[in-house]
Amino acid sequence: MEVQNLAGLGIDQARQGTAKKPSFDASNVNDQLGATLNQGGLLMRMAQSKGQGLAASRGLGNSTIGIDAAQRAMVDAALPIAQQNAQQANSRFMQDDSQSFTAGQADLDRKQQSSMLDKQQSWQGGQNALDRTQQLTMQGNDFKNQAALNTQNAALQKARDQLLYQQQLGTLSAEGAQRLKELDAQLKNQMTLNNQQNQWNSAEAQKERQQQLTVLEKQFGQETSQLAQQVAANTHGMYLSAIDTAMSSYNERYAALMADSTIKTADKTTMLNNMKNELNSTLTMYQKLYSNINTINPDWTKFPTTSLPGVKVS
């Protein structure tokens, strides 16, 4: 009795009028089952012979029931192998995903640190520039004030010296004596005013510098916060992208399985449950993996919660 190619079960090839199967997925029990059946190895030949023998012993060797019995024996023998191969492949894929994500996250951390260092250096440069500007401004103000003071003092001192000379000669009038007293008082008052002006200028320059520093600090804080939010947003986006990829793969495999009319309902149910278990395992792994990443939480203000929602197919 000849048995048809098991690819006819629709496990790894598409037929006219059905959904096109995606490329071979080593973590898919359905794909692994088709590959195992069509290898034609010793185990499959033994299972086929066993099924044929049982059908022949019942007088059903050339009937459709006999063919189905041979196919069933091959599927029963291949299914445990396919499940084991799919589980091992899924474990490898999950490990590869984890390593790839860890490498990507390390690269993001390095970029973030580099960006924050650049901003810190830029802020420090701005602060140093403010210090230099303030010092130059204060020196310029001091020079101008001192020059004006020296000019005024020189004029007052000259007039005072003339009156003192007259006083020494005994020719100083009462009006001159009064003028001498006024000049002495004016010199003292001028010195006091100049000292006060210098102190006020210094205080104003310090206030202006402090205001500029405050603006720089706020700007630096905002840029750092935006950078932290961007990194956290990228991490959330990577998580959602991983979930979307897993769900899309599941949907393609589900559509192909449901569209295959040659697979029995019981077999479809078993394969579908295996697909769901694999998907739920992958989704749980992604949730645990991304929830333990430090950049999932800092400064994430766009979402009402920093925890990731679980995803499961029932």
At 115, list the tokens.
């960006």
% residues pLDDT > 70 (the chain): 52
pLDDT of residue 41: 67
pLDDT of residue 85: 77
Is the model's pLDDT at 116 over the cut of 50? yes
| Mean pLDDT, the chain, whole residue set | 70
The one-letter code for the residue type at 258 is M
Of the candidates 210, 160, 217, 153, the one whose C-alpha atom is nearest the C-alpha of residue 183 is 160
Measured in degrees and rounded to the nearest 5, phi and psi for residue 118 equal: -60, -45
pLDDT of residue 16: 41
Is the model's pLDDT at 93 over the cut of 60? yes
Q: Model confidence over 236-283: pLDDT tens digits?
A: 888 888 888 888 888 888 888 888 787 888 888 988 898 898 889 888
Let me know if 19 is exposed, middle or buried by CB neighbors in 10 A (0-12, 13-18, 19+).
middle
Prediction pTM value: 0.38
Is the model's pLDDT at 221 over the cut of 80? no
Residue with the larger pLDDT of the pair 279 and 135: 279
Is the model's pLDDT at 184 over the cut of 80? no
pLDDT of residue 149: 67
Q: Model confidence over 139-160: pLDDT tens digits?
A: 666 667 666 667 766 776 777 6
Element (H, E) at 199: helix 174-259
Is the model's pLDDT at 54 over the cut of 70? no
pLDDT of residue 4: 41
Residue with the larger pLDDT of the pair 60 and 180: 180
pLDDT of residue 6: 40
Q: What is the mean pLDDT of residues 114-124?
A: 68
pLDDT of residue 13: 40
d(CA 38, CA 42): 12
